[in-house]
Amino acid sequence: MVALTISAGMLTAAILTRKERLFRDKMEYTVIFNDVEGNELAVRKVYEDSFAEPPDNLVLDVNQVFLDWGNPLYPVRSDTICSPSISNISDGINVFFVNTQYIKEKKSKKFQWRLGGQVALTELEAELLYNPKSLEFKKASSSLGRVYSTEKGIVGFTLNTGEALNAPCELADIEFKAIGNAFTFSEVAFNVNIAYTDSTHATYERLKSRVFIYK
């Protein structure tokens, strides 16, 4: 009988060979993520047709809304520089929004619901609308009021501060789990039922925010 000895090196070679088989026809590309001012935030090395996971350390001004990374993160098919696409909120309005999010499949992530602009609010009733086929609501909290409804696809909020909010500010933390298929988009939007200042009805706009689910 001949003894068969398998060394750690041979196991490593087998694992590498399997990986090489998986990507043997794939090019490797470099994806660079820059901040708003063009400074490098992160570098990803990814194989062709793979996903480039974005960094989570992007810093924005209080009246800036993050829309996306400007170039497709999936499928990657060339060396790419990704810079954040930003919407700037003017001072004379209110904008209710969450920044666009990237969530790993089956994972949870906390969103910050924000108010932009300069119209101070004293009372607010709003509904967050989401696709329950893509996102599962986990929880929400706010130091400014309460969650009054968690119907499927809708999260209702009532905020009443007793004194005017000095926008821009954070209104609530909202956590979702990604339950949809990988590499698909979903959307989060707000339906504002009541938005009052001290004496007048506030002017406001809504921004639909995208949620990208990846593998």
Say if residue 147 is exposed, middle or buried (CB neighbours under 10 Å; 0-12, 13-18, 19+).
Answer: middle
User: Residue type for 72, please?
Assistant: P
186, β-bridge pairs: 211
176 close to 138: Cβ distance less than 8 angstroms: yes
Report the C-alpha gap between 213 and 73 in whole angstroms: 11
Query: pLDDT tens across 153-207, in order?
Result: 999 999 887 777 777 889 999 999 999 999 988 999 998 888 777 656 566 777 7
Report the C-alpha gap between 122 and 103 in whole angstroms: 33
Percent of the chain with pLDDT over 70: 86
Query: pLDDT tens across 86-131, in order?
Result: 999 887 778 889 999 999 999 999 999 998 887 778 888 999 999 9
In angstroms, the Cα distances linking 185 to 72, 99, 215 are 12, 14, 13
43, β-bridge pairs: 32
Tell me the pLDDT of the chain averaged across its residues. 86
Domains of the chain and CATH, by start:
25-88 (2.60.40.4270), 89-215 (2.60.40.680)
Encoding tokens for residue 203? Answer: 């002017």
